[in-house]
């Protein structure tokens, strides 16, 4: 198995989330010394809002690469060139060299064994808090939001939920167990009981579920759209927030689609990915669940509760205030 695949699988096991490692385009390597440009595989990874470059070293390393001082110099040169933190992906690492790299603060990753990300300690702490807060799965969160948005008058059977949300009946069985464990649904009275029986409704359900809900956005990418957005996308982010609050929108429109659909869209002629904002005409949010399933009919924008969750933790105070305004105006 190639090192990039091993690294992706290891990071996915550590984070518990899908990991997408993207090879850097050739233009990003211009200006690098030939030894560095040819001696690594360079991959980009975005995690918790931070973009990193993984520099994968080959299995056969020369002495300069293996020595700690050489590794430190190499990492610093790459970080200065890419202007983002660089993590060295090593095939193996002896204990004394590992300890030395830790003392020097050099980020590294040995797939399947260990990783050290000193510049991202705050991200690791934030991620640990999210993990320990027992976040709902994407399917379970979509189910709770559907209940809040559409307010079914009577408990729906699992096969009905599956049809409405586009998941399999087996997935909805797991969702029910998850919601029961989270204290949001009552356990089935009998083995044959197939419905979801929520213990709360309206704002009470929201307040009980809120600690377990997270942003639906898995990642964001700059895009160049050729024509109108294709089917399966909805207006999102600052574009959607500006439609329903007094906050000013971003000049570049934001759209959302399901994360699993992005690779297929990129293979068509609808859109192309761009590395920088200046090269793009839109921002694409890749969601953990299908944003169109919950979008109000005919509006073309994501639902207000998912929109709130996607922006509520923004660093921009005006965005947080607009999110509070959005929630205050919602009719439970």
Q: Note whether 206 and 224 are same-domain residues.
A: no
Beta bridge partners of 115: 109
133 located within any domain:
no
Please report the DSSP string for 39-71 in residue order: S-EEEEEEETTEEEEEEEPPSS--HHHHSHHHH
Q: Note whether 30 and 91 are same-domain residues.
A: yes
203 located within any domain:
yes
Q: Note whether 176 and 221 are same-domain residues.
A: no
205 located within any domain:
yes
- Structural domain span for residue 27: 3-127
Burial (0-12, 13-18, 19+ Cβ within 10 Å), 63: exposed
Q: Are 319 and 311 in contact (CB under 8 A)?
A: yes
Q: Note whether 25 and 116 are same-domain residues.
A: yes
Q: Note whether 230 and 290 are same-domain residues.
A: yes
Which H, E and C letters describe 163-198, residue by residue? HHHCCCHHHHHHHHHHHHHCCCECCCCCCCCCECCE
* Residues 26, 165: Cα–Cα separation, whole Å: 41
Q: Note whether 206 and 272 are same-domain residues.
A: no
Closest-CA residue to 106 (of 79, 140, 128): 79
- The terminus-to-terminus CA distance of the chain in angstroms comes to 51
* Residues 81, 77: Cα–Cα separation, whole Å: 6
86 located within any domain:
yes
Q: Note whether 39 and 118 are same-domain residues.
A: yes
**In a structure prediction context, what are the per-residue pLDDT tens digits for the chain, which is 332 residues long?**
477 788 888 887 777 677 888 999 888 999 888 888 887 889 998 877 778 899 998 765 443 445 777 888 899 999 999 999 999 998 887 777 777 888 788 888 888 778 888 756 555 544 444 444 568 999 999 999 999 999 987 888 999 999 999 999 999 999 999 999 899 998 876 445 578 999 999 999 999 999 999 999 999 999 999 888 878 899 999 999 999 999 998 899 999 999 888 888 888 778 899 989 999 999 999 999 999 989 887 568 999 999 999 999 888 889 999 999 998 888 88
132 located within any domain:
no
259 located within any domain:
yes
Q: Note whether 115 and 20 are same-domain residues.
A: yes
* Residues 315, 50: Cα–Cα separation, whole Å: 14
Cα 53–Cα 55–Cα 59 angle in degrees, nearest 5: 155
Q: Note whether 207 and 229 are same-domain residues.
A: no
How many CA within 13 A on the CB side of residue 167? 24
Domain boundary pick from 102, 127, 152: 127
CATH of the domain at 14: 3.40.1350
Closest-CA residue to 291 (of 145, 153, 188, 155): 145
Domain boundary pick from 74, 97, 127: 127
Q: Note whether 277 and 253 are same-domain residues.
A: yes
Number of domains, the chain: 3
Domain boundary pick from 191, 212, 233: 212
278-297 burial string, b = 16+ CB within 10 Å, else e? eebebbbbbbbbbbbbbbee
Q: Note whether 304 and 322 are same-domain residues.
A: yes
37 located within any domain:
yes
Residues in the chain: 332
CATH of the domain at 196: 1.10.10.10
* Residues 245, 315: Cα–Cα separation, whole Å: 18
26 located within any domain:
yes
* Residues 240, 291: Cα–Cα separation, whole Å: 12
Closest-CA residue to 141 (of 171, 169, 119): 171
DSSP 30: T
Q: Note whether 31 and 113 are same-domain residues.
A: yes
């Amino acid at each position: 198995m190639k090192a990039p695949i091993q690294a992706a699988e290891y990071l996915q096991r550590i984070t518990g989330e899908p990991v997408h490692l993207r090879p850097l385009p050739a233009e990003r390597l211009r200006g690098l010394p030939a030894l560095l440009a040819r001696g690594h595989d360079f991959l980009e990874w975005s995690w918790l809002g931070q973009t990193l470059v993984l520099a994968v070293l080959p299995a056969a390393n020369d002495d300069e690469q293996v020595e700690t001082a050489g590794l430190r110099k190499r990492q610093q040169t790459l970080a200065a060139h890419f202007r983002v933190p660089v993590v060295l992906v090593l095939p193996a690492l002896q204990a004394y060299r590992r300890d030395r790299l830790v003392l020097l603060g050099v980020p590294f990753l040995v797939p399947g064994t260990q990783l050290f990300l000193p510049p991202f300690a705050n991200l690791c702490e934030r991620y640990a808090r999210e993990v320990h807060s027992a976040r709902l799965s994407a399917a379970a969160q979509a189910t709770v939001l559907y209940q809040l948005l559409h307010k079914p008058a009577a408990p729906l059977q699992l096969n009905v939920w599956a049809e409405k949300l586009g998941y399999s009946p087996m997935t909805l069985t797991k969702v029910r167990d998850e919601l029961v464990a989270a204290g949001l649904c009552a356990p089935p009275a009998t083995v044959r009981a197939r419905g979801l029986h929520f213990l709360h409704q309206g704002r009470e359900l929201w307040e009980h579920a809120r600690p377990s809900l997270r942003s639906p956005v898995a990642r964001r990418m700059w895009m160049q759209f050729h024509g109108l957005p294709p089917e399966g996308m909805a207006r999102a982010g600052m574009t959607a927030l500006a439609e329903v609050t007094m906050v000013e929108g971003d000049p570049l429109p934001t759209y959302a689609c399901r994360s699993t659909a992005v690779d297929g869209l990129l293979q068509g002629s609808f859109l192309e990915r761009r590395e920088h904002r200046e090269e793009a005409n839109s921002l694409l949010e890749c969601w953990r669940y299908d944003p169109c399933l919950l979008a109000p009919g005919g509006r073309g924008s994501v639902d207000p509760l998912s929109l709130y969750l996607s922006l509520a933790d923004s660093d921009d105070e005006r965005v947080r205030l607009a999110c509070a305004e959005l929630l205050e105006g919602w009719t439970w």
